[in-house]
Amino acid sequence: MNNGQARPSVRGRLAAGAAAAALAGLVGAWAYARAGGSAAEVVRDLSVGWAYAAAGLVAWWRRPGNLVGPLMLIEGVVWFAGNLQGSGVPALFAAGAWGEGLNLAVLAHLLVVYPDGRLTGRRARTLVAACYGVTVGGGLLRALTFDPAVHTDVTYLSCPDICGPNALLVPAAADLFPYVDGAYRVVGWILSAALAALVVRRWRRASTARRRALLPAWIALLLAVLVMLWDVLVVLLPVGGPAFEQGLTLLSDLTQTAVPIAFLTGLLRMRLQRAGVGGLVMEVGADSDPGRLRAALADVLADPDLRLGLWDEERAGYTDEAGAAVQPAARGCVRVDSSRGAPLALLRHDPALEADAGLLEAAVAALRLALENVWLRGQAREVGARIVRAADSERRRLERDLHDGAQTRLVFTLMTLRRVETRLADHPDEEVRRSLAEARESLHAAVEELRALAHGIHPAVLTRDGLAPALKELAGQTALPVVVAAEERRFDAVTEATAYFTVSEALSNAAKHAGARAISVSARSRAGRLVVETVDDGVGGADTALGTGLRGIADRVAAVGGVLRVHSPAGQGTRVVAELPCE
């Protein structure tokens, strides 16, 4: 069956369940009121039953494949079964007397399967079967011996003259009722104690994430204990009076209502967790650090023991932040592949998270997006670095071609022209001498302009001697006083060129726009990065978004994996800092 067919089927079941809960509540409220229940008691009774039903409908709608939702809905329906004893209809009275404890058996079943919705383990299956067996078999024996006209104080309903008659009553066995009822209650207490032991055992073995999921089960266990104590107190302390019994009934109803509220709170917490997944990609960004990724996922999934292994191409396996191998597991394990089918990561999580498949799928999708974002940025950075390297290589080639080709030819032509001018110094035609002088000056200017052009494309001193000498030469060509403190070592050619042109653009801006009086330039390596800093005492107010110069430099720095920061408050000068990888 496809999803389009399955969804209407679930909606139909939800509608049928809601109708059954509404009908059971209305009939139960009518019978309860007929048996002497006050308006407040009827409202409290409806609140508990319908709270279970509503929580069950929500849980069933959110997770159709989980048994928790249907069980909560059933709990809300059978909650009203005991009220049928006040209907005045013999068959309904018999059904109410027989099924009065059915809600406790369903509650035990709910506690055992929460939150996965699966009944696993021989001990758990035996306990649930015993609860239903005692309710069905023991409840039937109790109904067969229960005469409401004789035993008027064994039900929570006040109806000695209204309840009954009992269609299942065997008159000859009516004298056995006290013994059957006592045994029925004792067995119920024993099963309650076994249930408590099972839940405590599961709690002690559970991880932190599962313990959070089991919190509503603990509240339900507290409810079961309170109901058992209520039975004990009513039997042992019959002198408490109506007010005492009414107070205990109210307390029981309040604690019963807390159970579906706790389940709804758990669902709300899971929804908030899913909302938190949306911020995972933004929090991680392009950071591929396994430790940070694992911490972010553990926080979103509320699983502090979560392990994350990233694919290691060299080792052909998954490794965590400590370099240890992360192996697949039968349960609590998700493999994350890229959209291209390549392995990205392996997620080892608490199996309890499988109960909320939507949350886990959202976290996996966010992790995949974050890792692919890292990969794409790395690819883009690599492409950008190749483009910058190709551009710098082309700059150097053009500088060499201009220096060795056109500039050399022009210099040779200038020297030839000077020799001609010397030989014709005594030429009688002054116009010829003046024309030669103009040609020499024009050719000299052309040589200087070509030399400046070649230097602007890529300074020869940068290729020949390195960054420090190139920065000092650049400072000498600036109209303002410039102090240079540069580390005397060679770096990668692309790194040196990027640093040089960053300083060149900063000096040009300071001289043209900043109104600065002095400038300082520093270039030093720190922790595998070359930090180049240019500071002037000008008017400030520079913005990388407003000028093409700094914006172009920022793009160039980013293309080689660096970062450009500009701090330029108005009236306080400008600081331009470029951090470039240099390992």
Looking up tokens 């990233």 gives 310
Q: How far apart are CA 18 and CA 57, in angstroms?
A: 7
**Closest Cα partner for 86 from 168, 145, 30?**
30
pLDDT digits (tens, 9 = 90+) for 263-315: 667 656 655 565 566 566 555 555 556 777 787 777 777 777 888 888 887 78
Alpha-carbon dihedral of residues 178, 180, 186, 189, nearest 10 degrees?
-110
Per-residue pLDDT, 325: 85
| Three-class SS of 41-69 | HHHHHHHHHHHHHHHHHHHHHHCCCCCHH
Strand partners, 523: 486, 532
CA-CA distance, 316 to 346, in Å (whole number)?
13
Structure tokens at 429: 């035609």
> What is the rounded CA–CA span in Å between residue 51 and residue 31?
19
d(CA 285, CA 346) in angstroms, rounded, equals 19
Q: Is 556:495 a contact under the CB 8 Å cutoff? A: no
DSSP string over 319-385: E-TTS-B----SSSEEEEE-TTS-EEEEEE--GGGGG-HHHHHHHHHHHHHHHHHHHHHHHHHHHHH
Tens-place pLDDT, residues 491-547? 888 888 888 888 888 888 888 888 888 899 999 988 888 999 999 988 888 776 655
Q: Return the pLDDT at 355.
A: 59
- When pLDDT is cut at 50, 70 and 90, the band that residue 231 belongs to is low
Quick one: which of 369, 293, 296, 350 has its CA closest to 115? 350
Q: How far apart are CA 480 and CA 478, in angstroms?
A: 5
Which residues are CB-contacts of 334 (< 8 A; sequence separation ≥ 6)?
346, 347, 349, 360, 364
Give the three-class secondary structure for 565. Answer: strand
Secondary-structure class of domain 3-275 per CATH? mainly alpha
- Token match 């029925």: residue? 184
Q: Per the structure block, which two tokens stand in for 453?
A: 């052009």
* Fold assignment, 465-583: Heat Shock Protein 90 (3.30.565)
What is the average per-residue pLDDT within 146-164?
75
Note the pLDDT of residue 511.
83
- With contact defined as beta carbons under 8 Å apart, do 538 and 514 qualify? yes
**What's the chain's average pLDDT?**
78
- Quick one: pLDDT at residue 299? 76
Residue 509's nearest CA partner among 476, 467, 551, 468 is: 551
Distance CA 503, CA 493 (A): 16
Is pLDDT larger for residue 77 or for residue 117?
Answer: 77
- Which three-class secondary structure state does DSSP give residue 536? strand
Residue 333, both tokens: 């394990």
Q: Which of 439, 432, 433, 400 is nearest to 416 (CA)?
A: 439
Region 213-233: mean pLDDT is 64
| Tokens 């109410």, residue located | 96
Mean pLDDT lowest among 213-227, 297-311, 401-415: 401-415
pLDDT at 2 over 50: no
Q: What is the pLDDT of residues 175-186, one digit of tens each?
A: 898 999 899 989
Q: Residue with structure tokens 């370099």?
A: 323
| pLDDT tens per residue, range 132-141 | 999 999 999 9
Burial class (CB in 10 A: 0-12, 13-18, 19+), 405: exposed
pLDDT class for 129, splitting at 50, 70, 90?
very high
Strand ranges in 157-242 using DSSP code E only, listed in sequence order: none
Residue 200's closest CA among 310, 104, 286, 112? 112
Tell me, yes or no, if the two domains 3-275 and 465-583 fold the same way.
no
Angle (deg, nearest 10), helices 39-62 and 3-34: 170
Beta-carbon contacts of 466 under 8 Å, excluding residues fewer than 6 positions away, are: 488, 489, 490, 491, 496
pLDDT single digits (tens) 310-341: 888 778 888 887 888 888 887 788 888 877 77
Question: For 319-324, which contacts have Cβ atoms below 8 Å and span 24 or more sequence positions?
Answer: 319/290, 320/290, 320/294, 321/289, 321/290, 321/291, 321/294
Calculate mean pLDDT across residues 22-38.
90
Q: What whole-number distance in Å separates Cα of residue 269 and Cα of residue 274? A: 9
pLDDT for 3 equals: 46
Helices 241-277 and 68-78 sit at what angle, rounded to 10 degrees? Answer: 160
pLDDT at 187 over 90: yes
Q: What is the pLDDT, as a whole number, of residue 321?
A: 79
Residue pair 366/344 in contact by the 8 Å Cβ criterion: no
Least confident of 119-128, 171-180, 281-290, 550-559: 281-290
Domain range annotation of the chain: 3-275, 465-583
CB atoms within 10 A of CB 44: 19
Spatial CA neighbour of 29 closest among 20, 39, 17 = 39
Q: What is the pLDDT of residue 214?
A: 67
Highest mean pLDDT among 199-203, 215-219, 272-276, 549-553: 199-203
Within 8 A by CB and 6+ apart from 132, the residues are: 105, 109
- DSSP codes, 269-321: HHHHHHHHHTTHHHHHTT---HHHHHHHHHHHHT-TT-EEEEEETTTTEEE-T
119: confidence class by pLDDT, cuts 50, 70, 90: confident
Q: Is 150 left (phi over 0), alpha (psi -120 to 50) or beta?
A: alpha
